Structures are given as C-alpha cells and as structure tokens.
Amino acid sequence: MTTHPTAPVPDPLFPDPEAEARWRDRFTAPRVSLPQWAEDAPDRNLYLSNSSGVWEVYAWDRSSDEHRKVTDRPNGTSHCALSPDGERIWWFSDTDGDEFGVWVTEPFTATGDKAEPAVPDVPAAYPAGLGIGAEVVVVGASTDDGTTVYLSRAGGPAEVLYQHANDAGLGALSKDETLVAIAHSEHGDNRHTALRVLTTAGETAAEKWDGPGKGLDAIAFSPVRGDNRLLVMHERRGREELLVWDVASGSETEVVVDLPGEISADWYPEADALLVVHTFRARNTLHRYDLATGALTALETPHGSVGSVGVRPDGAVEYSWSSAARPGVVRVLTASGKDEVLLSPAGHRPPPSAELRDVFVGDVHALVARPEGAPDGPLPTVFSLHGGPHAADEDRFSAYRAVWLDAGFAVVHVNYRGSTGYGSAWRDAIEGRPGLTELEDVAAVHDWAVREGFADPARCVVNGASWGGYLSLLALGTQPERWAAGVAGVPVADYLAAYEDEMEPLRAFDRALFGGSPQEVPERYRLCSPLTYVDEVRAPVLVLAGENDPRCPIRQIDNYLDRLAARGAEYEVYRYDAGHGSLVVAETIAQTAAEVDFVRRRLG
C-alpha cells in the first residue's frame, strides 16, 4: 500500500459546545427507511435503520408492533427483501462494503437460526436484481463475464435463465410467476436499455426497444394475479414517462400526464390506477392516475422531496419525506386523506437546518443556502457536486450540508448537465465529453455566485463524492484559478486505471458514456481524466478513499496521489476499511469532521 499524508480527525470540531452537539446530533439521530411489506402478509415489514450506529436491516411485525434487528455486521447492510408470504427475510451479504457477495435468507421470526445462502448454486457476484415468488425465485448476478439471471423452482437447484456478456439486470417477476422482465444492453448501451420478457421456461415472450438514445426500463408487473401487464419507463419525447405494456397481446398504452419535469410510478393494489411521483426543479409531488379515465388527482404532501413511496393493500400511501430545513420522516397518507407520521424511531430528533433557494444561471439550476444570521456580503463557499452523474441534488435534508453551514460556509449545489430530472437531452449532454461538460456549468454558477456577491472568490471550495469527487479533482486541474481548496471523496482520479479495476457494470457504463472503451477512444479518456491535469493543481486537496471500493478502486487513487507527492503538492488522504462510502455513523462523522477541518485549516 502506498503511504500518503493522513488527514487528522479533530475532536471537537467546534469550540462552542452547543454547535458541537448540534452537528453530531444530526448524524446520530435514529433514522429509518420506508418499510417494505410482504405482498401476501402486509403486517410483516422490513426497513433499514441506523439506530445501532450502523445501518442494518430491521423486521417489524405490525400486528404486535414488535421490532427486531436482523443483521449485525461491522460495515452494515443495505439490501433486503421479503418473501411474499412474509416467512423469510433475504439480505445481501458482501465483504466489508465491496458489494460482491450472495443473497442469504433467514426466518422472519426471531428463532436464533443463522442466515444461510438463499440459492446455494448462485455464485458470488454483484447484485443485478431479485424477484421472489411463492415457488419461483429469480436472481440477477453480474461479474466480469457479464450478467447471468438464475431461476430456482421450489427451492431446487438454480438454472440459467439468461446470460450475456453485456450489462443487464432483472427488472420484474410477474405475480403468477410465469414471466420475467429483463432490461439489457445487448445493443451496447447500458445507459439506454431495451426490454426482453422471458417465460420462466426460458422462452422469449416479447421484446421492446425504442432505438438508440431512448431507454426503456421495467418498473413492475401488475400486482393482480393473471394480469401480466408491465409498467414501463420510456423517454420517447425527451423525458422519463410511463407506458403500460400488455405483454400477451403486444399492445401498449402510454400514460400521458400534463406535468412539467419527469415522472415515475408504481401500481395501486387493484391495478386500476398508478401512484405517480412527479419530479420538477428538485422537488416532488404525488398523484393518483386513474387508468380507465386518465384522471390525475394530486395527493397532498408537504413541500419538499419524497424519497421512497408505496401503496398498502388498504390504499394508504406511505412515503419517506424531507426538506432542506426539516429532517426526514416516514409518513402515511390514509385512504381518508389524513397525513401523519408512520414510523418514528426512539431517540432524539435531528436539529433543523436552513432552507435552500433556487437559482437559475441560464439553463443551469442550482440550489443555494447561507448560514442563518450570516452578515451580508460574500462568504467562503462550498460548491458541493453530487454523484451519479445520473442523479440530482434536491430539496431534502442533509446533515452533511448543515455542518458546512454551521461552520460558516455558504453552500451551492449545481444540477449540471448529466443530472436527472431535467429531461433526456440534459442528462445525455455529457456523452462523449464527460466531466468537462459538467464543469462548464459549475463555472457558470461560480461566476454568478462571485458576481452577485454570494461567494468570496478567494475562498471557494469544490467538493463532492463518487462522480462528484471525480468532478472535484478534474475542476482543481482544469479550473485552478477558481478554487482555494478541494475535497474529493471516493473519486475517479485516473480514468484509465479505474476502467481496468472497476466492476464490469461500470465499465459498460463508461463505454456508453465515452462512446467506446479506452482501447477504442483513448484520447477521450485521457482528456477527461483528472490525472491528465494533476500538474496544474494549485489548491490543497483532501482525498477520501475506501480500501474495498469496487466503483472507484484504490489503485487509481494512489496513482493520482503519487503524482501529487512527486511534485510536492499540498494534499492529505483519509483511507478507511470499507467500500464506496460507509454505513457506519461514527465513520461518517469522522470523515465529515476531517473534511471541514481540512478546509478550515487550508483557508486559514
């Protein structure tokens, strides 16, 4: 392992005891994900929670209101599912956050039995979808050899249902367990997948592809047994929309919703309506769409962002929600229209934070915040760049943003080209020139912030994780005059080495993004790699890296740090023994403290 200067972790971060308690309370406050329930036993639920200090799986029996911690692993657990009858819990077992492992299963009830491999014949892999029926189980597995979808009947041995060298994923298993929908990239573009529906006997039942640059994705089959209509996401008109595909007849019905922005959805229990999630300008609203009449009815929810959402068998809509100022909560909108908190874990509530304000610089949407009570005039400013790139910053609560505000920094989020929620053309505009394209938008927002007296041009910090970490390193090398410091969490730093070492689904993503592999278009990878510009970096930089990261592997980060060291550049590194981020609350606190302390020290 290459040795590099290690970033210290301050304790405390703030000299004021109240401020110190406030920022830590936001991270340590118990939180829960939206519960998922067993299809045929809806009183049996699973959710994720950080109540123990590590994100783990919890079982909840609503009939008795009993909660049980299911998993207990040093680096946490993030994937779980329930069998339709609610008798078995499934969770994904990887090693120290490396995302490579197998599905295991154990009883829902607290029997003390140890978890065992769910489908023993399925080898370790990266997860690529899961469908659990009463008799049929379908498991998607991704390795360097491509994607394989396995099928097991009544607990019997696994058989190969689908296999291809190109990236693919299991989309859905029909309620009657006769059909399996697979999103695939056999045409070579996993950013815009096609659909194939197979029978569980292995025969092709139907195919659908909208052509180059227009993706399709399987959301879910109808929840009514014998009704094998498939809800599908499409982008035929330049944004994510919906259609219902009758696989048996081959007919389809587009769901036309007169709303700006993009929509996603899931079924109501009787399959007569859809629960629509509408995303527009970094916020969400919920609606009920009647499939027979086309009527769209708004569901009253607070102003902010909806995370996950689902409809219970009794018609109640359960959803996770937060806003920038108000911490997250799991709520329920009952059939009678009453909206209330559904699940609130024991323990303290996180302190609130500041609202976000919308800014539009040309076509670029940014969300900005200033510390409450801050004096007028320019402030030291953190430009916090989201990961993905197929993601977006939204009006949702963030303990991470709040600590920068508490430390006296203004914060700017940029939904650069490549972000989702703004249409297909905006999302795909980075193809062929990733990184550099996004940074043009970041530069435009930076110019606005300086021109309007929002940001102090001598104290601007570029910061992000994953794709945001990649953009931060690239910005430090290509826009050195703009930045006084940089923080890059789990970044792509040397794109050529990253491509060699990363998981195959990401290599497929890179080929689609760049228009080929490094062997086919080497100059594009070189021009878009932070390593190419490392000698131009002037600002001090902190890099955070996971030793077991399959997405942004450690070797390519060390390559970049070695180049910084060779020229005597100012930098520090924070290494931790996990993968692409951490599910351990104490580790997240330590990393956040190291970041804020690094920037404050380097800015003087």
Q: pLDDT per residue over 60-96, tens digit each?
A: 999 999 999 999 999 999 999 999 999 999 999 999 9
Angle formed by the axes of helices 399-406 and 17-28, nearest 10°: 170
Of the candidates 279, 278, 604, the residue with the CA atom closest to the CA atom of residue 419:
279
Question: Residue range 428-439: average pLDDT?
Answer: 98
At residue 277, the pLDDT reads 98
187 three-class SS: coil
pLDDT at residue 113, rounded to an integer: 72
Report the 10 Å Cβ neighbour count for 9.
14
Q: What is the pLDDT of residues 179-190, one digit of tens each?
A: 999 999 999 999
Among residues 217, 317, 206, 307, which one has the least CA distance to residue 267? 317
Q: How many other C-beta atoms lie within 10 A of the C-beta of residue 526?
A: 13
114 CB-side CA count, 13 A: 3
Q: Which tokens go with 8?
A: 């210290």
Burial of 244 (0-12, 13-18, 19+ CB in 10 A): buried
In tens, the pLDDT along 195-228 reads: 999 999 999 999 999 999 999 999 999 999 999 9
How far apart are alpha carbons 258 and 266 in whole angstroms? 18
| Residues 4-30 pLDDT 10s | 899 999 989 999 999 999 999 999 999
Read off the pLDDT of each residue in 170-185 and give the average, rounded to a whole number. 98
Which residues is 459 bridged to in the sheet? none
pLDDT value for 337: 79
pLDDT at 40: 96
Residue 452 has pLDDT above 80, yes or no: yes
Residue that is written with structure tokens 């309620």 in the block: 175
Q: Looking up tokens 């959805």, which residue turns up?
A: 265
Q: pLDDT tens, 512-527?
A: 999 999 999 999 999 9
Q: Which two tokens stand for residue 439?
A: 């940074």
Pairing of strands 485-489, 455-465: parallel
Assign 3-class secondary structure to 499-534: HHHCCHHHHHHHHHHHCCCCCCCHHHHHHCCHHHHH
Q: Which residues does 321 contact at the CB level (< 8 Å), separation at least 6?
A: 301, 302, 304, 305, 306, 307, 328, 329, 330, 331
H/E element, 489 = strand 485-489
pLDDT at residue 3, as a whole number: 77
Segment 228-283, tens digit of pLDDT:
999 999 999 999 999 999 999 999 999 999 999 999 999 999 999 999 999 999 99
**604, pLDDT greater than 90:** no
561 DSSP 8-state letter: H
Which segments within 87-156 are labelled E, that is strand? 88-94, 101-107, 116-117, 126-132, 136-143, 146-153
Q: Which of 206, 196, 201 is nearest to 250 (CA)?
A: 206
pLDDT classification of 344: cutoffs 50, 70, 90: confident
Whole-structure pTM value:
0.97
pLDDT score recorded for residue 114? 83
Question: Is residue 485 predicted with pLDDT exceeding 80?
Answer: yes
Q: How far apart are CA 427 and CA 391, in angstroms?
A: 9
Question: What CA–CA distance (Å, rounded) separates 38 from 46?
Answer: 9
Q: Report how far residue 503's alpha carbon sits from residue 543's, in angstroms, rounded to the nearest whole number.
A: 21
**Nearby residues of 548 by Cβ (< 8 Å), 6 or more positions away:** 95, 96, 97, 98, 577, 578, 579
User: What would you report as the CA-atom Rg of the chain, rounded to the nearest whole angstrom?
Assistant: 24
The alpha carbon of residue 371 and the mean position of all alpha carbons in its chain are separated, in whole angstroms, by 27
Return the closest-CA partner of residue 406 out of 377, 376, 385, 382: 382
Query: Is the per-residue pLDDT at 1 higher than 60?
Result: no
Q: Tell me the two tokens of residue 55.
A: 């994100």
Report residue 442's pLDDT band, with 50, 70 and 90 as the boundaries. very high
Lowest model confidence (mean pLDDT) among 98-112, 258-272, 589-603: 98-112
Confidence of residue 545 (pLDDT cuts 50, 70, 90): very high
Q: What pLDDT, on a 0 to 100 scale, did the predictor assign at position 338?
A: 86
DSSP helix/strand/coil, 98: coil
What local confidence, expressed as pLDDT, does residue 47 receive?
98
Query: Looking at residue 594, what DSSP letter applies?
Result: H
- Cβ neighbours of residue 426 closer than 8 Å, sequence gap 6 or more: 363, 417, 418, 419
The pLDDT > 70 percentage for the chain reads: 100
